[in-house]
Structure 1
Amino acid sequence: MDNSHVASHSSSMSRRPPPDVFLSFRGPDTRWNFAKFLHMMLTRAGIDVFIDEIDLPKGNDLNDELIAVISQSKLSIAVISEDYVSSKSCLMELEQMLKWKDSESHTIIPIFYYVDPSDVRHCKGPFARSMREHNDSGSDATVIGFWKSALNRIGRMAGHHLCENNEG
Protein backbone atom coordinates (compact mmCIF):
# COMPACT_ATOMS: atom_id res chain seq x y z
CA MET A 1 0.00 0.00 0.00
CA ASP A 2 1.40 3.41 -0.95
CA ASN A 3 1.24 5.64 2.09
CA SER A 4 3.23 8.51 0.62
CA HIS A 5 0.51 10.96 1.61
CA VAL A 6 1.04 10.09 5.28
CA ALA A 7 3.62 12.41 6.81
CA SER A 8 7.01 11.13 7.85
CA HIS A 9 7.63 11.12 11.55
CA SER A 10 9.69 13.54 13.53
CA SER A 11 8.67 14.32 17.01
CA SER A 12 9.27 15.93 20.31
CA MET A 13 8.34 12.58 21.86
CA SER A 14 11.99 12.16 22.88
CA ARG A 15 10.96 13.48 26.30
CA ARG A 16 9.09 10.23 26.83
CA PRO A 17 10.30 6.67 26.30
CA PRO A 18 8.52 4.83 23.49
CA PRO A 19 5.19 3.46 24.71
CA ASP A 20 4.42 -0.24 24.71
CA VAL A 21 0.92 0.35 23.30
CA PHE A 22 -0.70 2.99 21.12
CA LEU A 23 -4.44 3.16 21.82
CA SER A 24 -6.55 4.41 18.90
CA PHE A 25 -10.21 5.22 19.47
CA ARG A 26 -12.90 7.73 18.56
CA GLY A 27 -13.31 9.99 21.56
CA PRO A 28 -17.06 10.65 21.59
CA ASP A 29 -17.84 6.93 21.22
CA THR A 30 -15.49 5.38 23.74
CA ARG A 31 -13.26 7.91 25.55
CA TRP A 32 -15.12 8.00 28.88
CA ASN A 33 -16.10 4.35 29.06
CA PHE A 34 -14.30 1.56 27.24
CA ALA A 35 -11.07 3.36 26.24
CA LYS A 36 -10.66 4.85 29.72
CA PHE A 37 -11.22 1.44 31.33
CA LEU A 38 -8.83 -0.31 28.92
CA HIS A 39 -6.16 2.35 29.48
CA MET A 40 -6.55 2.03 33.26
CA MET A 41 -6.34 -1.77 33.26
CA LEU A 42 -3.30 -1.91 30.96
CA THR A 43 -1.53 0.75 33.03
CA ARG A 44 -2.28 -1.14 36.25
CA ALA A 45 -0.70 -4.20 34.64
CA GLY A 46 2.50 -2.19 34.12
CA ILE A 47 2.01 -1.60 30.40
CA ASP A 48 2.90 1.88 29.15
CA VAL A 49 -0.06 3.04 27.05
CA PHE A 50 -0.10 6.17 24.92
CA ILE A 51 -3.42 7.97 24.96
CA ASP A 52 -3.72 11.25 23.10
CA GLU A 53 -5.51 13.38 25.69
CA ILE A 54 -2.88 12.60 28.31
CA ASP A 55 0.35 12.22 26.39
CA LEU A 56 0.24 14.68 23.48
CA PRO A 57 2.10 17.92 24.11
CA LYS A 58 -0.26 20.85 23.62
CA GLY A 59 0.41 23.08 20.62
CA ASN A 60 2.27 20.50 18.53
CA ASP A 61 1.18 19.13 15.15
CA LEU A 62 -1.23 16.38 16.11
CA ASN A 63 -0.68 14.14 13.06
CA ASP A 64 3.12 14.28 13.25
CA GLU A 65 3.05 13.42 16.94
CA LEU A 66 0.64 10.51 16.45
CA ILE A 67 2.65 9.11 13.55
CA ALA A 68 5.83 9.25 15.64
CA VAL A 69 4.20 7.50 18.59
CA ILE A 70 2.72 4.74 16.40
CA SER A 71 6.10 4.13 14.80
CA GLN A 72 7.77 3.88 18.22
CA SER A 73 5.22 1.64 19.93
CA LYS A 74 5.40 -2.13 19.92
CA LEU A 75 1.68 -2.71 19.59
CA SER A 76 -1.44 -0.79 18.60
CA ILE A 77 -4.96 -1.38 19.79
CA ALA A 78 -7.61 0.00 17.45
CA VAL A 79 -11.03 0.33 19.07
CA ILE A 80 -13.24 0.40 15.99
CA SER A 81 -16.56 1.93 16.97
CA GLU A 82 -19.51 3.10 14.90
CA ASP A 83 -18.17 6.64 14.63
CA TYR A 84 -14.44 5.76 14.29
CA VAL A 85 -14.41 6.38 10.53
CA SER A 86 -15.94 9.86 10.87
CA SER A 87 -12.56 11.01 12.20
CA LYS A 88 -9.84 11.72 9.64
CA SER A 89 -7.35 11.47 12.48
CA CYS A 90 -8.53 7.94 13.38
CA LEU A 91 -8.29 6.91 9.72
CA MET A 92 -4.76 8.33 9.49
CA GLU A 93 -3.84 6.44 12.67
CA LEU A 94 -5.25 3.20 11.27
CA GLU A 95 -3.42 3.63 7.99
CA GLN A 96 -0.16 4.36 9.84
CA MET A 97 -0.61 1.31 12.11
CA LEU A 98 -1.01 -0.89 9.03
CA LYS A 99 2.03 0.71 7.40
CA TRP A 100 4.15 -0.17 10.43
CA LYS A 101 2.66 -3.65 10.58
CA ASP A 102 3.83 -4.19 7.00
CA SER A 103 7.33 -2.76 7.39
CA GLU A 104 8.27 -3.43 11.02
CA SER A 105 7.49 -5.89 13.76
CA HIS A 106 4.35 -4.04 14.86
CA THR A 107 1.24 -5.83 16.06
CA ILE A 108 -2.31 -4.53 15.78
CA ILE A 109 -5.15 -5.80 17.92
CA PRO A 110 -8.52 -4.66 16.62
CA ILE A 111 -11.44 -4.39 18.99
CA PHE A 112 -14.76 -4.21 17.17
CA TYR A 113 -16.78 -2.13 19.62
CA TYR A 114 -20.46 -2.86 18.96
CA VAL A 115 -19.83 -3.04 15.21
CA ASP A 116 -19.80 -5.96 12.81
CA PRO A 117 -16.31 -6.62 11.38
CA SER A 118 -18.04 -7.40 8.05
CA ASP A 119 -19.43 -3.83 7.97
CA VAL A 120 -15.91 -2.53 8.60
CA ARG A 121 -14.40 -4.83 5.96
CA HIS A 122 -16.98 -3.93 3.29
CA CYS A 123 -17.42 -0.30 4.39
CA LYS A 124 -21.17 -0.68 4.98
CA GLY A 125 -23.63 1.06 7.27
CA PRO A 126 -22.12 3.88 9.37
CA PHE A 127 -18.73 3.33 7.72
CA ALA A 128 -20.18 3.96 4.25
CA ARG A 129 -21.97 7.09 5.53
CA SER A 130 -18.75 8.48 7.01
CA MET A 131 -16.85 7.81 3.79
CA ARG A 132 -19.55 9.64 1.80
CA GLU A 133 -19.22 12.57 4.19
CA HIS A 134 -15.44 12.64 3.72
CA ASN A 135 -15.98 12.55 -0.04
CA ASP A 136 -18.62 15.31 0.12
CA SER A 137 -16.33 17.48 2.24
CA GLY A 138 -13.67 17.39 -0.47
CA SER A 139 -11.27 14.75 0.84
CA ASP A 140 -8.93 13.50 -1.87
CA ALA A 141 -10.33 10.43 -3.67
CA THR A 142 -6.96 8.68 -3.51
CA VAL A 143 -6.76 9.18 0.26
CA ILE A 144 -10.32 7.86 0.63
CA GLY A 145 -9.23 4.80 -1.35
CA PHE A 146 -6.34 4.24 1.09
CA TRP A 147 -8.75 4.55 4.02
CA LYS A 148 -11.18 2.04 2.49
CA SER A 149 -8.30 -0.36 1.93
CA ALA A 150 -7.22 0.08 5.57
CA LEU A 151 -10.77 -0.63 6.76
CA ASN A 152 -10.89 -3.74 4.60
CA ARG A 153 -7.63 -4.97 6.10
CA ILE A 154 -8.54 -4.26 9.73
CA GLY A 155 -11.97 -5.83 9.20
CA ARG A 156 -10.28 -9.05 8.06
CA MET A 157 -8.00 -9.26 11.08
CA ALA A 158 -8.68 -11.52 14.01
CA GLY A 159 -9.63 -9.36 16.92
CA HIS A 160 -12.05 -8.97 19.77
CA HIS A 161 -15.70 -8.42 18.97
CA LEU A 162 -17.72 -6.72 21.68
CA CYS A 163 -21.47 -6.77 21.24
CA GLU A 164 -24.52 -6.46 23.45
CA ASN A 165 -25.13 -10.18 23.90
CA ASN A 166 -21.39 -10.88 24.28
CA GLU A 167 -21.44 -13.31 21.38
CA GLY A 168 -18.89 -13.07 18.60
Structure 2
Amino acid sequence: MESDQMIPKSSARYDVFLSFRGEDTRASFTSHLFSSLSKDGIVVFKDDIDLPRGNNIPLELQRGIENSTISIVIFSKDYAGSRWCLNELSKIMEVHRVQGRVVLPVFYGVDPSEVLHQISNFGEVFQDLIQRSSPTYDQVLRWRSDLREAGGIAGFVVLNSR
Protein backbone atom coordinates (compact mmCIF):
# COMPACT_ATOMS: atom_id res chain seq x y z
CA MET A 1 0.00 0.00 0.00
CA GLU A 2 1.47 3.34 -1.05
CA SER A 3 0.27 5.24 2.02
CA ASP A 4 2.68 3.10 4.08
CA GLN A 5 5.55 4.92 2.34
CA MET A 6 4.83 8.15 4.17
CA ILE A 7 7.65 10.27 5.50
CA PRO A 8 8.99 8.74 8.70
CA LYS A 9 8.58 10.80 11.84
CA SER A 10 11.87 12.32 12.77
CA SER A 11 12.99 14.10 15.87
CA ALA A 12 11.98 17.35 14.19
CA ARG A 13 10.32 19.91 16.41
CA TYR A 14 7.99 21.04 13.60
CA ASP A 15 6.12 19.08 10.97
CA VAL A 16 6.10 22.01 8.54
CA PHE A 17 8.13 25.18 7.97
CA LEU A 18 6.24 27.88 6.05
CA SER A 19 8.30 30.13 3.79
CA PHE A 20 6.32 33.05 2.36
CA ARG A 21 6.43 36.74 1.52
CA GLY A 22 4.44 38.37 4.30
CA GLU A 23 3.19 41.34 2.30
CA ASP A 24 1.77 39.06 -0.37
CA THR A 25 0.15 36.23 1.57
CA ARG A 26 0.36 36.55 5.38
CA ALA A 27 -3.19 37.85 5.86
CA SER A 28 -4.72 35.64 3.18
CA PHE A 29 -3.48 32.32 1.84
CA THR A 30 -0.76 31.70 4.44
CA SER A 31 -3.00 32.40 7.43
CA HIS A 32 -5.68 30.05 6.05
CA LEU A 33 -3.10 27.34 5.34
CA PHE A 34 -1.59 27.74 8.81
CA SER A 35 -5.02 27.51 10.46
CA SER A 36 -5.99 24.41 8.48
CA LEU A 37 -2.72 22.62 9.20
CA SER A 38 -2.81 23.53 12.89
CA LYS A 39 -6.45 22.46 13.20
CA ASP A 40 -5.40 19.05 11.89
CA GLY A 41 -2.72 18.71 14.56
CA ILE A 42 0.22 19.57 12.31
CA VAL A 43 2.91 21.55 14.13
CA VAL A 44 3.86 24.50 11.92
CA PHE A 45 6.74 26.98 12.16
CA LYS A 46 5.46 30.40 11.13
CA ASP A 47 7.77 33.36 11.67
CA ASP A 48 5.33 35.72 13.37
CA ILE A 49 4.49 33.03 15.92
CA ASP A 50 7.71 31.05 16.40
CA LEU A 51 10.41 33.72 16.40
CA PRO A 52 11.25 34.52 20.02
CA ARG A 53 11.55 38.28 20.61
CA GLY A 54 15.11 39.44 21.05
CA ASN A 55 16.65 36.44 19.30
CA ASN A 56 18.79 36.44 16.16
CA ILE A 57 16.23 36.23 13.33
CA PRO A 58 18.39 34.53 10.66
CA LEU A 59 19.61 31.95 13.18
CA GLU A 60 16.06 31.21 14.41
CA LEU A 61 14.80 30.84 10.82
CA GLN A 62 17.68 28.46 10.07
CA ARG A 63 16.84 26.42 13.17
CA GLY A 64 13.17 26.35 12.18
CA ILE A 65 14.06 24.98 8.76
CA GLU A 66 16.50 22.41 10.15
CA ASN A 67 13.94 21.29 12.75
CA SER A 68 11.08 20.78 10.30
CA THR A 69 10.18 17.62 8.42
CA ILE A 70 8.65 19.44 5.42
CA SER A 71 9.06 22.95 4.04
CA ILE A 72 6.18 24.55 2.19
CA VAL A 73 7.43 27.39 0.02
CA ILE A 74 4.68 29.77 -1.05
CA PHE A 75 5.97 31.46 -4.20
CA SER A 76 4.00 34.68 -4.72
CA LYS A 77 4.44 37.67 -7.00
CA ASP A 78 6.98 39.43 -4.75
CA TYR A 79 8.64 36.41 -3.10
CA ALA A 80 11.86 36.92 -5.12
CA GLY A 81 11.97 40.57 -4.06
CA SER A 82 12.98 39.63 -0.54
CA ARG A 83 16.50 38.69 0.55
CA TRP A 84 14.94 37.04 3.61
CA CYS A 85 12.79 34.78 1.44
CA LEU A 86 15.63 33.89 -0.92
CA ASN A 87 18.00 33.14 1.97
CA GLU A 88 15.30 30.94 3.55
CA LEU A 89 14.86 29.19 0.22
CA SER A 90 18.60 28.57 -0.03
CA LYS A 91 18.63 26.95 3.42
CA ILE A 92 15.51 24.94 2.60
CA MET A 93 17.05 23.63 -0.61
CA GLU A 94 20.34 22.84 1.16
CA VAL A 95 18.50 20.76 3.77
CA HIS A 96 16.52 19.14 0.94
CA ARG A 97 19.70 18.14 -0.93
CA VAL A 98 21.77 17.09 2.09
CA GLN A 99 19.15 15.49 4.34
CA GLY A 100 16.43 14.57 1.86
CA ARG A 101 13.80 16.77 3.51
CA VAL A 102 10.62 17.30 1.53
CA VAL A 103 10.00 20.61 -0.21
CA LEU A 104 6.46 21.36 -1.32
CA PRO A 105 6.12 24.45 -3.51
CA VAL A 106 2.88 26.37 -3.76
CA PHE A 107 2.74 28.69 -6.75
CA TYR A 108 0.35 31.38 -5.52
CA GLY A 109 -0.53 33.75 -8.34
CA VAL A 110 2.60 32.79 -10.29
CA ASP A 111 3.17 30.10 -12.84
CA PRO A 112 5.84 27.49 -11.98
CA SER A 113 7.73 28.44 -15.17
CA GLU A 114 8.11 32.00 -13.85
CA VAL A 115 9.95 30.66 -10.80
CA LEU A 116 11.88 28.05 -12.75
CA HIS A 117 13.20 30.56 -15.29
CA GLN A 118 12.87 33.79 -13.26
CA ILE A 119 10.75 35.41 -15.98
CA SER A 120 7.71 37.70 -16.24
CA ASN A 121 6.81 39.78 -13.19
CA PHE A 122 8.47 37.26 -10.85
CA GLY A 123 11.74 37.67 -12.76
CA GLU A 124 11.44 41.46 -12.83
CA VAL A 125 11.00 41.56 -9.04
CA PHE A 126 14.08 39.35 -8.69
CA GLN A 127 16.12 41.63 -10.97
CA ASP A 128 14.98 44.67 -8.98
CA LEU A 129 16.20 43.02 -5.76
CA ILE A 130 19.59 42.32 -7.33
CA GLN A 131 19.93 45.93 -8.45
CA ARG A 132 18.73 47.36 -5.10
CA SER A 133 20.69 45.18 -2.72
CA SER A 134 23.90 44.41 -4.63
CA PRO A 135 24.35 40.79 -3.51
CA THR A 136 27.59 39.00 -4.34
CA TYR A 137 27.88 37.17 -7.64
CA ASP A 138 27.94 33.84 -5.78
CA GLN A 139 24.78 34.79 -3.86
CA VAL A 140 22.91 35.54 -7.09
CA LEU A 141 24.07 32.24 -8.62
CA ARG A 142 22.89 30.35 -5.55
CA TRP A 143 19.50 32.09 -5.53
CA ARG A 144 19.02 31.39 -9.25
CA SER A 145 19.97 27.75 -8.81
CA ASP A 146 17.67 27.34 -5.80
CA LEU A 147 14.76 29.01 -7.63
CA ARG A 148 15.30 26.69 -10.63
CA GLU A 149 15.48 23.61 -8.43
CA ALA A 150 12.42 24.52 -6.34
CA GLY A 151 10.49 25.69 -9.41
CA GLY A 152 11.06 22.27 -10.95
CA ILE A 153 9.47 20.39 -8.05
CA ALA A 154 5.87 19.31 -8.58
CA GLY A 155 3.69 21.34 -6.27
CA PHE A 156 0.37 23.14 -6.16
CA VAL A 157 -0.62 25.94 -8.49
CA VAL A 158 -3.09 28.47 -7.09
CA LEU A 159 -3.99 31.08 -9.72
CA ASN A 160 -6.68 33.74 -9.51
CA SER A 161 -7.62 32.78 -5.97
CA ARG A 162 -9.27 34.92 -3.32
The alignment's TM-score, normalised by the length of structure 2, stands at 0.88
Specify every segment of 5 or more residues in structure 2 that has no aligned partner in the other structure, as ranges. Answer: 1-11
Question: What is the CA–CA distance in structure 2 between the aligned matches of 1:93 and 1:104, rounded to whole Å?
Answer: 16
| Cα distance, 1:103 vs structure 2 | 0.9
The match for 1:134 is 129
Question: What is the CA–CA distance in structure 2 between the aligned matches of 1:142 and 1:130, rounded to whole Å?
Answer: 19
Alignment counterpart, residue 100 of structure 2, candidates 61, 85, 105 = 105
Is 1:39 paired with 2:34?
Answer: yes
Structure that is richer in helix per residue: 2
- Check the 8 A contact 1:84/1:90 in 2, yes or no: yes
Question: What is the CA–CA distance in structure 2 between the aligned matches of 1:109 and 1:140, rounded to whole Å?
Answer: 28
Aligned partner of residue 20 in structure 1, secondary structure? strand
| Cα distance, 1:135 vs structure 2 | 2.4
Is 1:58 paired with 2:53?
Answer: yes
Is 1:80 paired with 2:75?
Answer: yes
The match for 1:121 is 116
Deviations 1:29-79, CA, capped at 9 Å, x for gaps: 000010000000000000000100011011222111101110111000000
The alignment's TM-score, normalised by the length of structure 1, stands at 0.85
- Check the 8 A contact 1:23/1:78 in 2, yes or no: yes
Deviations 1:11-36, CA, capped at 9 Å, x for gaps: xxxxxx71111011100100001000
Alignment counterpart, residue 23 of structure 1, candidates 18, 22, 32 = 18
Alignment counterpart, residue 149 of structure 1, candidates 136, 145, 151 = 145
- 1:156 maps to a residue whose letter is G
Task: Give runs of ≥4 in structure 1 deviating > 4 Å.
Answer: none
Aligned partner of residue 157 in structure 1, secondary structure? coil
Question: What is the CA–CA distance in structure 2 between the aligned matches of 1:91 and 1:109, rounded to whole Å?
Answer: 16
Specify every segment of 5 or more residues in structure 1 that has no aligned partner in the other structure, as ranges. Answer: 1-16
Q: Percent identity?
A: 37
Question: What is the CA–CA distance in structure 2 between the aligned matches of 1:135 and 1:25, rounded to whole Å?
Answer: 19
Number of aligned residues: 149
The match for 1:163 is 159
Question: What is the CA–CA distance in structure 2 between the aligned matches of 1:93 and 1:110, rounded to whole Å?
Answer: 13
Aligned partner of residue 60 in structure 1, secondary structure? coil
| Cα distance, 1:122 vs structure 2 | 0.5
Question: What is the CA–CA distance in structure 2 between the aligned matches of 1:25 and 1:132, rounded to whole Å?
Answer: 19
- Check the 8 A contact 1:135/1:141 in 2, yes or no: no
